[in-house]
């Protein structure tokens, strides 16, 4: 590699450090575009590919095995496309490379953030474990070659708002930085061994993240020993001079980004690095360091080796949207659905007793909603209406009426009273509510007018659009059972819905197979077991100011109010019981502790349970301590009447607390371990006290 780099001119080197990297034919270097996306399946390609539920929906599965498999499927399909380009000598097209700028492991600290749908929720532990699983799935397990390249983003402290992300200066406390915003990045870098990191648009404590010495040089490289590549977010380096105003002009800004550790620019200014050498701002040796990291990645994906040596080179286009891949997309869609209300056990519906269904709502037959953002294009998007019509249309009369748009009434459509009169003729009403990526998402990609949001795609309210509630109130007057299936990338406050719906399902943006997944849940072909990866607050008034990055009063760990649906919550068609918890009563600091518990299916049907372990530390008014913290989870399947033993092993880092200086310390004292199907105080479970003795033990 050193020999290759030595043969490049300075001008060639800096061209290779931009996302659209040109071919250097005299040295046999093919063109390559580093920019590709794979948030929930290969994205933005013209090919037909498998589209999974949006990331927040996958988080609701609490299933690391499933998301690992999803990552593996995604890299398989991406490999097929890349292999074709490499064989034909047509590399260099955007969205055809193997460097995927995913996963987004920022913390969904505020439900108004439009891009929160791209994350794995509000909890650092869940985010870390789900993010690590997809990294391992994407990158594969070959000792020499990467199947594809994952990228942990956006590093760091990037969680909205969208409208000012190019100039915003996040200033969290040292405690919040290390307790909330960095743990998932640490997990992916030090344990999952992710090979890419994307630095964020915003500043952290006055310094742009892509030129932030503490973040990139000290924490990422020195403390965590990261040896992969760092890319800027797209056109983030332009922000240094133009929006952050931290640099007088672009050449100086590019030099600072390079010296801090940004190896690749998504943008068009890194050619100025050549001028920076001439001006003495940095050396050509500094450029060589970054270039060697980039070439290492290209070597690891096999760009310069014979195909017979690369274990993934034989993957062909027959894998694209193959049956096994489509089945897993449907499986994850089913696993993601959260049953929030089921009054009088209305669900599951009995198809033999229902003669007609009124299917209403803006997302009942809206395939685009199901694809969310950063999506690929499948051959077919199965909506709830399509699924009902195909599977039950010859048995049950299905009266479909959109009834209303997402944020406004439909033109030349029946009045709400007329829709209600039509619905009254059916045995049950299924209303598919929600919003879409038109109303929440990334700045510039979302922000359609009419939902009280910024043009950036953030929301200003957690309420369902009022026009939908207006129609729901008319439907409620019919007296027919009312089932609401909600599609969104975040939580709604569900104030009216929770009180008036007979059943309430949160279905997220479920990908290409969402319709079949929803119908399977409604009719009991699948027993729902998704869990909320977010706290459902009762009111917008429960939320601190959006631009305040303090975690005080945010998420289940620090919110002291009463949620409508807590983090980790979800109902089932069966019931589970916990018993016989066993663990040591006393350990020393630095030790691990094994926890085992018996879980039994005590209900009338088979089903999944998400077993959750929480650590509860005594509250101390002198410092910030989580009310409780998830430190283990396993999704299991139990047949009716079946029992099994579930075990967890807690390491010191799971038993430790973050200090005000950011150090993670395990100290002597007593904690409570709780295992159940949700948080303590909200579900039945088993608990055990644990006494920790010994001198303080610093985890990091």
**Known catalytic residues?**
233, 440
Q: Give the Cα separation of 208 and 454 in Å (integer).
A: 24
Q: Give the Cα separation of 86 and 26 in Å (integer).
A: 18
Q: Which residues pair with 33 in a beta bridge?
A: 20
**Closest C-alpha among 659, 376, 350 to residue 522:** 350
Answer whether 473's CB lies under 8 Å from 443's CB: no
Q: Which residues pair with 359 in a beta bridge?
A: 400, 430
227 contact partners, CB below 8 Å, separation of at least 6? 293
Q: Give the Cα separation of 658 and 665 in Å (integer).
A: 6
Q: Give the Cα separation of 240 and 203 in Å (integer).
A: 9
Q: Which residues pair with 152 in a beta bridge?
A: 197
Q: Give the Cα separation of 45 and 377 in Å (integer).
A: 8
SS3 482: strand
134 contact partners, CB below 8 Å, separation of at least 6? 67, 68, 70, 71, 102, 103, 150
Phi, psi for residue 671 in degrees, rounded to 5: -125, 165
- Cα Rg, the chain, nearest whole Å: 26
Q: Give the Cα separation of 409 and 172 in Å (integer).
A: 42
**Closest C-alpha among 676, 77, 17, 124 to residue 320:** 77
Q: Give the Cα separation of 349 and 461 in Å (integer).
A: 33
- CA distances (Å), 122 to each of 128, 236, 538, 566, in order? 11, 25, 17, 12
218 contact partners, CB below 8 Å, separation of at least 6? none
Q: Give the Cα separation of 433 and 306 in Å (integer).
A: 52
Cα 404 to its chain centre, rounded Å, is 29
Q: Rounded to a whole number, what is the distance in angstroms from the first to the last CA of the chain?
A: 35
**Closest C-alpha among 32, 28, 27 to residue 15:** 32
SS3 32: strand
- To 5 degrees, how large is the angle CA 640–CA 645–CA 650? 140
Q: Which residues pair with 216 in a beta bridge?
A: none
Residues in the chain: 700
558 contact partners, CB below 8 Å, separation of at least 6? 551, 552, 624, 626, 627
Phi, psi for residue 644 in degrees, rounded to 5: -150, 160
**Closest C-alpha among 147, 118, 150, 121 to residue 133:** 150
Structure tokens at 651: 């390491």
3-state per-residue secondary structure call for 293-349: HHHHHHHHCCCCCCHHHCCCCCCCHHHCCCHHHHHHHHHHHHHHCEEEEEHHHCCCC
> What interhelical angle do 183-190 and 124-139 show, nearest 10?
30
Answer whether 633's CB lies under 8 Å from 126's CB: yes
Q: Give the Cα separation of 490 and 457 in Å (integer).
A: 12
Return the DSSP state at 410: P
């Amino acid at each position: 590699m050193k020999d290759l780099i030595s043969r490049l001119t300075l001008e060639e080197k800096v061209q290779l450090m931009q996302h659209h990297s040109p071919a250097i034919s005299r040295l046999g270097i093919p063109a390559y575009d580093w920019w590709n996306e794979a948030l929930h399946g290969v994205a933005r390609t013209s090919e037909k590919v498998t589209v999974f539920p949006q990331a927040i929906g996958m988080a609701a599965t609490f299933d690391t095995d499933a998301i690992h498999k999803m990552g593996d499927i995604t890299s398989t399909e991406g490999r097929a496309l890349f292999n074709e380009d490499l064989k034909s000598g047509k590399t260099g097209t955007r969205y055809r490379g193997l460097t995927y700028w995913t996963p987004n492991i920022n913390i969904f600290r505020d439900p108004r953030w439009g891009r929160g749908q791209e994350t794995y929720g509000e909890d650092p532990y869940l985010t870390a474990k789900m993010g690590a699983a997809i990294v391992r799935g994407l990158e594969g397990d070959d000792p020499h070659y990467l199947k594809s390249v994952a990228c942990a983003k956006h590093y760091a402290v990037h969680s909205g708002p969208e409208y000012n992300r190019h100039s915003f200066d996040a200033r969290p406390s040292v405690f919040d930085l290390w307790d909330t915003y960095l743990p998932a990045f640490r997990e992916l870098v030090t344990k999952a061994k992710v090979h890419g990191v994307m630095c964020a648009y915003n500043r952290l404590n006055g310094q742009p993240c892509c030129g932030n010495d503490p973040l990139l040089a000290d924490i990422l490289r020195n403390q965590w020993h990261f040896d992969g590549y760092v890319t800027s977010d797209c056109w983030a380096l332009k922000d240094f001079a133009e929006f952050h105003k931290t640099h007088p002009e672009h050449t100086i800004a590019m030099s600072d980004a390079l010296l801090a550790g940004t190896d690749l620019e998504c943008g068009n200014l890194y050619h100025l690095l050549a001028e920076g050498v001439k001006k003495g701002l940095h050396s050509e040796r500094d450029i060589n360091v970054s270039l060697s990291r980039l070439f290492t990645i290209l070597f690891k994906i096999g760009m310069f080796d014979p195909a017979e040596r690369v274990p993934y080179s034989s993957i062909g286009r027959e894998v694209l949207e193959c049956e096994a891949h489509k089945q897993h997309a449907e499986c994850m869609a089913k696993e993601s659905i959260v049953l929030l209300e089921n009054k009088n056990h209305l669900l599951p519906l009995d198809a033999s007793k229902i003669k007609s269904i009124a299917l209403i709502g803006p997302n009942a037959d809206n395939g685009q909603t199901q694809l969310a953002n950063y999506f690929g294009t499948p051959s077919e998007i199965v909506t709830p209406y399509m699924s009902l019509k195909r599977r039950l249309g010859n048995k049950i009369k299905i009266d479909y009426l959109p009834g209303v748009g997402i944020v406004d009434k439909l033109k030349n459509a029946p009045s709400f009273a007329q829709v209600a009169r039509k619905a009254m003729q059916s045995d049950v009403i299924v209303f598919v509510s929600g919003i879409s990526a038109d109303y929440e998402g990334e700045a510039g990609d979302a922000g359609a007018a009419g939902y009280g949001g910024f043009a950036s795609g953030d929301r200003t309210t957690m309420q369902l659009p009022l026009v939908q509630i207006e129609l729901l109130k008319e439907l409620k007057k019919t007296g027919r059972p009312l089932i609401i299936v909600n599609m969104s990338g975040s939580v709604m406050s569900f104030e009216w819905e929770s009180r008036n719906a007979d059943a309430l399902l949160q279905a997220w943006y479920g990908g290409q197979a969402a319709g079949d997944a929803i119908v399977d849940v409604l009719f009991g072909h699948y027993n729902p077991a998704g869990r909320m990866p977010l706290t459902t607050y009762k009111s917008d008034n429960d939320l601190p100011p959006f631009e305040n990055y303090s975690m005080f009063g945010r998420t289940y760990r620090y919110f002291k109010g009463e949620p409508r649906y807590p983090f980790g919550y979800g109902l089932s068609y069966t019931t589970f019981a916990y018993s016989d918890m066993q663990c040591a009563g006393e350990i020393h600091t630095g030790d691990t502790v094994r926890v085992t518990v018996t879980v039994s299916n005590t209900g009338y049907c088979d089903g999944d349970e998400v077993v959750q372990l929480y650590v509860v530390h005594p509250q101390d008014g002198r410092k910030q301590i989580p009310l409780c913290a998830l430190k283990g989870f396993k999704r299991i399947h139990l047949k009716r009447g079946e029992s099994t033993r579930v075990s967890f092993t807690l390491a010191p880092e799971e038993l430790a607390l973050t200090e005000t200086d950011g150090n993670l310390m395990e100290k002597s004292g007593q904690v409570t371990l709780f295992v159940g199907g949700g948080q303590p105080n909200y579900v039945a479970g088993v608990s055990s006290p644990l006494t920790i003795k010994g001198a303080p033990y610093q985890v990091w």
